[in-house]
Structure 1
């Protein structure tokens, strides 16, 4: 039996914003979050000179909801640290997904590559007994009989009533598809369930809205891409899944996140168009996906899509986004990083807001982090204890 959601959506429309990362590294990406026992939120992401570089490490910061501030970011896991614990070469690190167990131990599932590209990934498990400050190598998930490669993580785990977890994973070699791994506290795989039977669907987001029912949305990797997410449902606690079908949600083959608030009541955070990652919104359904509305829109740069934008024009447009409730330490450094990451001397500049990750804390607050122009991790926070009309942020 799968644990059900318990809380409702806050009525407050005033999302607060802050930058989690401080621009120390040229590139950051793929943040994730977990709530700590005291109500704080710890975030993880990978950071380095570029994606896949040898200097990429896992960075982290902690959000204090009482003060509304983030701690200084720190590298908490390095490529060398994993290599030493594993006893083999580690070429690069990628996505991470945290889990806090009932006994206080924290597990971090880390995508690690020894050879080749992301299709050669394995999922390494690190463990911490001080809420994510210090880590030690725990093991590697054995997920496939063929060299145990091509398994990656991205989206939040689900919890079963017996204390086990369901870890959504996906594969990128000899077909692209999603699965759920059911893991015990020792990271032994008790079972696995394939989500759909297509071969072009990755990064499954699994939303549980009753003890037996779950819905999964998956990123569409078909070429050419028709611009819609895949969808599948399970009616037996996640063991069997319907055949993949196209949902009604537009998406440019980009990562997504979401929450089940109640039966048939879901929130999906994603890029909300069929072409580019230049917008970001949260969509809501209250009828099990038969109809959707855009509940909150945080970025929408469609009007500039396809234009030859200069670095000066790009800087002018994104500068207001630095005016967060908690401003970055060095806005000029973030602007320089963003221009470097998103501007090309021949092709001009483009916007990018992607890889959202949402959680709901015990207080009922909603938190979302995402990658801002490949340069910073940005945080959005919606408190549950106040009310205001819905608002949009440009």
Structure 2
């Protein structure tokens, strides 16, 4: 049986043959590139999320503060209209009923048809001990409900947006990090709601017979009803899993032919049927401490969710903290919008014309 390390070797070989400097680049595909907030009132920003409203307005959220895992880290939110991005405002923090303040983490915006805007986020001292929270808005993020803690055992979407499946289910791409900082285990565990978010059910951990440890999945859809997860791993390559029953059960994890430096990604199914992913085209070797380099930042395409090709480099210049944790959506006008962490200090927004990607 092939192991995750074997898959990593294959992915690294493909990357070396392709040669990162020679990756296909089509600058004409980039329509806009800007910072959501050019001068934020805090030193660190991370983990952005994107959504489009019915009138074409965009909104983004992220966490910002003095540094990840610190109590002053809050969830920030901004809308973008025809005149550009509005001034961001904090919309959630980690204050608990007993007055203790915890850091907040990884907001996820979700605008399901016929329901209020949902903003999921996590609160707690670390990803091993956090819990899921949600606030809602019926006026496009101008006003928000009081925060509500999700049920025990439900964390909500960990980094990437939920989807509404062909059967009408809200499918929340979730994962777990269990153990201690020195010895912890990662696994995917999907959460489903069949009643518009009133109740949730957590599925069984997705099997990983090859020892691939994965978190932070994205959900892709196919015309025949199949669903695919694409997730970050510790093994140097991205991983996939498939469902044929509306997200109830999932196939064992397998590696795909794109490298991953132990960094978050996001993916979306385009209107033309292609699958698009934003990721770092660099690898992390499991026997090396820490993460691999979070640059360059790239866009990949696939016709079948299995074979992927790198079609665009968004960022290539080395930065101490790189370019990480992208979020991606396709808006009603057909354009693709990406936000991502820029050197841990700001959130960058890029608009791409997918017709120019091949």
- What's the TM-score, normalizing by structure 2? 0.80
Say if 1:138 and 1:23 are closer, same or farther in 2 by CA, change over 3 A: closer
1:129 aligned partner: 138
Larger Rg: 1
Partner of 1:370: 340
Asked if the contact 2:36/2:349 (under 8 Å) is kept, the reply is: yes
Deviation track 1:106-148 (CA, whole Å, cap 9, x = no partner) reads: 11111111xx42200111111122211222235222252xxx7
Q: Which residue of 2 aligns with 1:34?
A: 51
Q: Using a 3 Å threshold, how does the CA distance of structure 1 residues 267 and 94 change in structure 2: closer, same or farther? A: same
The reply to whether residue 254 of structure 1 matches residue 274 of structure 2 is no
Contact 1:194 1:241 in 2 (8 A): no
CA distance in 1, matches of 2:230, 2:316: 22
Aligned to 1:105, which of 96, 116, 125? 116
2:3 is matched with which residue? Answer: none
Once the two structures are superposed, residues 329-351 of structure 1 have per-residue CA deviations (whole angstroms, 9 ceiling, x without a partner) of xxxxxxxxxxxxxxxxxxxx725
CA contact (8 A) 2:29 2:353 kept: no
- Determine the C-alpha separation between the residues in 2 that align with 1:103 and 1:252: 38
Match of 1:265 in 2: 274
Match of 1:230 in 2: 239
Deviates more, 1:238-247 or 1:160-169: 160-169
Cα distance in 2 for residues equivalent to 1:151 and 1:170? 9
Alignment match of 1:202 (pick from 215, 222, 229): 215
Number of the residue aligned with 2:196 = 185
Matches within 5 A, 1:140-155: 140-144=149-153, 153-155=158-160
2:270·2:276 contact (CA, 8 Å) conserved in 1?
A: yes
- Residue 168 of structure 1 corresponds to 173
Segment of structure 1 superposing worse, 172-181 or 350-359: 172-181
Question: Matched residues in 2 for 1:31 and 1:52: separation?
Answer: 16
Q: Give every structure 1 segment of 4 or more consecutive aligned residues whose post-TM-superposition deviation is greater than 6 Å.
A: none
Corresponding residue SS for 1:277: coil
- Deviations, residues 277-320 of structure 1 (Å, cap 9, x unaligned): 02100011124323x2211111124xx6xxxxxxxxxxxxxxxx
Q: 1:390 to 1:236 in 2, by over 3 A?
A: closer
Relative to structure 1, the CA distance from residue 41 to residue 264 in structure 2 (aligned partners, 3 Å threshold; closer, same or farther) is closer
Give, in whole Å, the separation in 2 of the partners of 1:186 and 1:352: 35
Work out which structure has the larger RCO, using CA pairs closer than 8 Å and 6 or more positions apart in sequence.
1
Go from structure 1 to structure 2 and tell me whether the alpha carbon gap of 1:255 and 1:104 turns closer, same or farther (over 3 Å shift): same
Is 1:293 the counterpart of 2:306 in the alignment? no
Deviation at 1:186, TM superposition (A): 4.1
1:1-394 to 2 correspondences below 5 Å: 13-21=29-37, 22-64=39-81, 66-67=82-83, 69-80=84-95, 83-84=96-97, 89-113=100-124, 116-144=125-153, 153-161=158-166, 163-174=168-179, 175-183=185-193, 184-190=195-201, 192=203, 194-197=205-208, 200-221=213-234, 225=235, 227-261=236-270, 265-274=274-283, 275-290=292-307, 292-301=308-317, 350-383=320-353
Give structure 1 stretches of 5+ with no counterpart.
1-10, 305-348
The farther-off stretch of 199-208 and 25-34 is 199-208
> Structure 2 CA distance, aligned partners of 1:241 and 1:164?
15
TM-score normalized with structure 1 length: 0.73
SS of residue in 2 equivalent to 1:142: coil
Contact 2:212 2:233 in 1 (8 A): no
Give the superposed CA RMSD: 2.6
Distance across 2 between alignment mates of 1:102 and 1:262: 17
Structure 2 unaligned spans of 5+? 1-26, 180-184, 284-291
Count of paired positions: 315
Deviations 1:259-279 (A, max 9, x none): 122697211101011131021
**SS of corresponding position for 2:219:** strand
Instruction: Tell me what 1:339 maps to.
Output: none
Alignment check: 8 A CA contact 1:212 1:238 kept: no
